[in-house]
Amino acid sequence: MKFAFLCQQKPGLSRQKIAVVGAGPAGLTAAGYLVCRGHEVDIYDKLPIPGGMMTFAIPKYRIPLDSIMEGVEELRDRFGVKLNLSTKVTCGERHDEGDELAVNTVDMLKLVENYDATLISTGTWRSRKLGIPGDDAKNVMSALEFLLDIHMEELGLRASHLGSFKKVVVIGGGLSAVDAAEESILKGASEVYLVYRRTIKEAPAGEYEIRRLSRLGVNWIELAAPKSVTIENGVARGVVFQRMKLGEPDESGRPRPIPVPGSEFEVEADIVAAAIGEIPTPPIASECGGIGKHVGKDGKIAVDKSFRIPGTNIFAAGDVVTGPSKIGQAVGQGLRAAKEIDRFLSVKVLVAR
């Protein structure tokens, strides 16, 4: 996977230094563009291996780690990009998924002070909770937590905390749900259920992916929403679902699921994985010298059309701006933001002359 695809080697130095916070597809692509424009780039990431969701959430058979690392090594060895891994950048206190792997912390405002420009590309590392009785049991988790655990073990970072499991219930119809269900099958689960509140036609992962999973042995249940988790001795033993029917379109434009009274049914589970959406996680969890006001209630960073937080030398791109999307979109955002950073820095140089 190539991130510096615009040049073969680094052109003369511009003496401008850029910090990239987040080594997912958006940050790595931006770094690749910026080094080809002669800038010096330092990357910061809270995880010990770069690649973001591509390394820690998406199964290896879809994106091999070697191909990500090839591009990262080229950035480091040929273009002098400095990788500060296991380093969480923060302004204010907040715990996001994967934070336990960070060993160092760096203050966001200090970073901004020390660099000519900073790009935030920290993605969506917090998952929505089910918000139903029993969802705080230890074996009820987000799909991201579930996938992170599996990846950490596969990457040799730590032993799995999941224990043995045979029955897995995954709730949701998006890419995270599909990956959690497929990994469950690959890990030897004998009964895997993928339960979605609308129909296969509305599932964000698409009909093709869900039919493929069904062929692998995943039980697809549509038009059902979780109502409560059944707990025995503090451990989740199953999920009670209620049947849904589809009503008029809601604010998302998709038909609204409406509960059907008296239609509850239970599915047994050793693990419940909720894949009902991830939330943007900017490294800004407070007022943060005035930049906190550019973070919306939904966690997204509000940038202008040049990907910049107005009036600052801070830029943002990828899922932390758009909310959960896809690799191609994050790459596109990273590239466009990098072009804007390059433009911003050349104007700065002209003004300084």
Ligand X SMILES: Cc1cc2nc3c(=O)[nH]c(=O)nc-3n(C[C@H](O)[C@H](O)[C@H](O)COP(=O)(O)OP(=O)(O)OC[C@H]3O[C@@H](n4cnc5c(N)ncnc54)[C@H](O)[C@@H]3O)c2cc1C
327 CB-near residues (< 8 Å, 6+ apart) = 25, 54
CB of 292 to ligand X, least distance (A): 14
Q: For ligand X, which residue of 3, 18, 22, 238 counts as binding (CB under 6 A)? A: 22
Q: Which amino acid is at 238?
A: G
- Considering only residues 326 to 345 of the shown chain, the ones binding ligand X according to CB under 6 A are 326-328, 330
Options 32, 52, 134, 257; binder of ligand X; rule CB under 6 A: 52
Q: Which of 125, 105, 96, 115 is nearest to 314 (CA)?
A: 115
Supply the minimum distance, in Å, between the C-beta of residue 89 and ligand X: 4
Q: Show the site string, 68-107: x = touches ligand X by CB under 6 A, - = not.
A: --------------------xxx-------x---------
Q: Residues in contact with ligand X, total (CB under 6 A)?
A: 40
Distances (CA, A) of 75 to 10, 148, 337: 10, 25, 18
CA atoms in the 13 A half-sphere facing the CB of 157: 18
Tell which one of 16, 20, 25, 300 touches ligand X (CB under 6 A).
Answer: 25
Contact between 126 and ligand X per CB under 6 A: no
CB of 83 to ligand X, least distance (A): 11
94, 64 Cβ separation under 8 angstroms: no
Confirm if 120 and 320 have CB atoms less than 8 A apart: yes
Amino acid at 112: V
Q: Is 299 in the site for ligand X (CB under 6 A)?
A: no
CA dist 344 to 23, 114, 339, Å? 22, 16, 9
Site residues for ligand X per CB under 6 A: 21-27, 44-47, 52-54, 57-58, 62, 88-90, 98, 121-123, 125, 144, 147, 175-176, 179, 278, 281, 283, 318-319, 325-328, 330
